[in-house]
Amino acid sequence: EYRVKVDTDGVVTFASNTGILFPYEAATTSDTLTAAESGKTFVVKPATNKPPTFTLPVAAVGMEFTFVAANTEFIILDPNGTDTFKYASLSAGDRIYNSSAAAGDTIKVFCATALEWAVTPITGTWADYN
């Protein structure tokens, strides 16, 4: 049995009884992420009332991370060193958070230029945390 089959002409076929599972982690505490975790979605549901902070690795081209608030809570993203979130008026080293703190707040950060995190689709209100 196969999950994905790619024919010689490039046609991709999926087995009918399987699905595609994407990298996922239920996050309950602050974490320092690694480059190996790129592509992962973090569903954030803190174990305490303290908002978790996720420290990103050095922004390298092609890396991406997605964060989703499971409940009404804050999520704080901290760039590595002087990496920059290319969003609103954030400066090098500024952290970003979901100021709306609503269930379903979502952000994806993607690196297209070294040392910069582009903010792609978001849900909720995200702002400078500094």
Mean pLDDT of the chain: 88
Q: How many CB atoms lie within 10 A of CB 123?
A: 14
Q: Give the pLDDT of residue 50.
A: 87
Instruction: For residue range 7-60, list pLDDT tens digits in order.
Output: 556 565 555 555 666 788 999 999 999 999 999 999 999 888 889 999 999 999
Q: Give the pLDDT of residue 128.
A: 96
Q: How many CB atoms lie within 10 A of CB 29?
A: 12
Report the SS3 class of residue 8.
coil
Which is nearest to 18 in space by CA: 2, 35, 30, 36?
2
pTM: 0.83
Instruction: For residue range 64-89, list pLDDT tens digits in order.
Output: 999 999 999 999 999 999 999 999 99
Q: What percent of the chain has pLDDT over 70?
A: 84
Q: How far is CA 63 from the centre of its chain?
A: 10
